[in-house]
């Protein structure tokens, strides 16, 4: 790995390493490392823990009224392999990785590999510059994700929350299908179901298409385990 790659990476992440060897290791996949201990796997393990702590603290400090269950669900929806992979790809970290022959290109890698390099970089920053530098790096990408998730839960905008989850996990947008409608023109009810990632979820009825879509989104969130059934009744 050239010094130019390391310099470019430091410019991208907005942090200059005292020990560039840590960054070199963070960008080295096991397939390209002489030994497993020289790959980014150990740094990924550390970075995952730091990422979880930073996100949990941010959620905790951001809203003093969120119960434990809600904070857990927000954290789970924000910190995922897909989310970390998206950050890695958007920053260009994936393209800077050292990969072994036959592992593929940055465009064809499974999400676990770009996610791992993102977490490994967090681990490297933590070891080199401490918790505050790692926290700054993480929040520069993830604070907005948390804010959107909290805002959606407060507003009970189930369509928005489902869309955020679908885009993070599957890079897809939910589709709403009108299945049926009943009643006279001035008093119709509509049945809607949502489809995403190859699955159609339980349909829901509403006095308008918009409300039926919200209820269908809620049904999908409940089935996905992101919202408890009792929340929709509140």
Give the pLDDT of residue 159: 87
181 flagged as catalytic: no
CATH number at residue 178: 3.30.160.20
Total domains, the chain: 2
- pLDDT tens figures, 25-37: 999 999 988 888 8
Most confident range (mean pLDDT) of 65-79, 84-98, 192-206 is 192-206
Looking at 11, 19, 38, 48, which residue is catalytic? Answer: 48
Mean pLDDT of the chain: 88
Range of the domain at 201: 161-232
Give per-residue pLDDT as tens, 8-24. 999 999 999 999 999 99
The label of the residue with tokens 């790692």 reads 134
Query: Does one domain contain both 36 and 134?
Result: yes
Q: Quick one: pLDDT at residue 234? A: 47
Residue among 188, 187, 176 at smallest CA distance from 219: 176
Active site residue 48: yes
Catalytic residue (one of 119, 128, 191, 213)? 119
| Tokens (6 digits) for 178 | 């009108």
In this structure, the answer to whether residues 89 and 191 fall within a common structural domain is no
Give tens-digit pLDDT for 84-139. Answer: 888 999 999 989 998 887 676 556 778 889 999 999 999 999 999 999 999 999 99
Considering the domain architecture, whether residues 190 and 143 belong to the same structural domain is answered as no
Mean pLDDT within 210-218? 91
pLDDT at position 233 over 80: no
pLDDT tier for residue 141 given thresholds of 50, 70 and 90: confident
Sign, CA torsion 98/100/101/107: negative
Distances from the Cα of 149 to the Cα of 81, 145, 163, 173, 221, angstroms: 17, 6, 11, 16, 13
Assigned token pair, 230: 């009792």
Indicate the residue among 132, 155, 178 that finishes a domain. Answer: 155
Q: Final residue of a domain: which of 98, 132, 155?
A: 155
pLDDT of the residue at 77:
76
| pLDDT confidence of residue 205 | 95
């Amino acid at each position: 790995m050239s010094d130019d790659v390391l310099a470019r990476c430091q410019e991208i992440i907005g942090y200059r390493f005292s020990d560039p060897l840590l960054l070199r290791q963070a960008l080295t996949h096991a397939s390209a490392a002489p030994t497993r201990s020289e790959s980014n796997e150990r740094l990924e393990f550390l970075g995952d823990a730091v990422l979880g702590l930073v996100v949990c603290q941010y959620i905790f400090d951001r809203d003093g009224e969120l119960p434990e269950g809600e904070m857990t669900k927000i954290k789970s929806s924000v910190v995922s392999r897909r989310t970390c992979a998206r950050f890695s790809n958007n920053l260009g970290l994936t393209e800077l990785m050292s990969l072994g022959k036959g592992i593929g290109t940055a465009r064809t890698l499974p999400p676990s590999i770009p996610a791992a390099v993102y977490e490994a970089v967090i681990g490297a920053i933590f070891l080199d510059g401490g918790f505050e530098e790692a926290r700054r790096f993480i929040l520069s990408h993830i604070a907005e994700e948390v804010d959107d998730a909290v805002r959606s839960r407060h507003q009970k905008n189930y369509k928005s929350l489902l869309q955020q989850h679908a885009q993070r996990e599957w890079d897809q947008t939910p589709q709403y299908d009108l299945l049926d409608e009943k009643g006279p023109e001035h008093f119709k009810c509509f049945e809607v179901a949502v489809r995403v990632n190859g699955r159609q979820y339980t349909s829901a009825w509403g006095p308008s298409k918009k409300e039926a879509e919200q209820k269908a989104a809620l049904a999908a969130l409940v089935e996905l385990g992101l919202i408890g059934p009792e929340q929709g009744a509140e």
